[in-house]
């Protein structure tokens, strides 16, 4: 894991002073490391009955698509408002300063579908907590929230269902 962690670039003072940004694009652009990261996460779910991966806009699409492909299942997209062409379910949630909204197609799941929510990074957990509500509100069963990396100090895990969070890398 240390090998993968070393590839992620630190950007100080981005997007504002005092923030140490973890730039995952360096890992994504390295084919060998990207392949290894996806294999390590996917291995966790091999042999389980998983029906769909849920990818969270936008970097969750990258991780989610690769996991769905590796597991031989489909991906459902959660997007910003106005981006999905069919009837949607919408959730508005609080951010540190303001609110945001996400949407998912109302017919994204069959009743009881077993899903994994995939995103690149778990920080404060607000976005994925909202996605959990969307997924469960449509009758799917959340198996786990899977992340490439987690920023432990921000406590995002506390906002998600107990025992349903997996992060490959922790900072």
Catalytic center residues = 59, 96
Coil, strand or helix at 115: strand
C-alpha angle with apex 156: 169 to 74, nearest 5 degrees?
A: 65
Cα→Cα distances 159→98, 128, 135, 153, 154, Å:
18, 9, 15, 13, 11
- Determine which helix (DSSP H) or strand (DSSP E) holds 63, and give its type and residue range: helix 59-71
Q: Residue 94 pairs with which residues in a beta bridge?
A: 99
Measured distance CA(171)–CA(166) in Å, rounded = 14
């Amino acid at each position: 894991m240390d090998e993968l962690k070393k590839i992620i670039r630190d950007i100080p003072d981005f997007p504002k002073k005092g923030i140490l940004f973890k730039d995952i694009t360096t890992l994504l652009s390295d084919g060998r490391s990207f392949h290894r990261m996806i294999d390590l996460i996917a291995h966790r779910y091999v042999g389980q009955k998983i029906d769909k991966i849920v990818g969270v806009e936008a970097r969750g699409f990258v991780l989610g698509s690769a996991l769905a492909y590796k597991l031989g299942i489909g991906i459902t997209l959660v997007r910003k408002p106005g981006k999905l062409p069919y009837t949607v379910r919408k959730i508005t949630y609080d951010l540190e300063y303001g609110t945001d909204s996400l949407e998912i197609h109302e017919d994204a799941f069959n009743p009881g579908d077993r899903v994994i929510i995939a995103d690149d990074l778990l920080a404060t957990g607000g976005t994925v907590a909202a996605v959990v509500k969307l997924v469960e509100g449509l009758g799917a069963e959340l198996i786990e929230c899977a992340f490439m990396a987690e920023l432990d100090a921000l406590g995002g895990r506390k906002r998600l269902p107990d025992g349903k969070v997996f992060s490959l890398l922790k900072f």
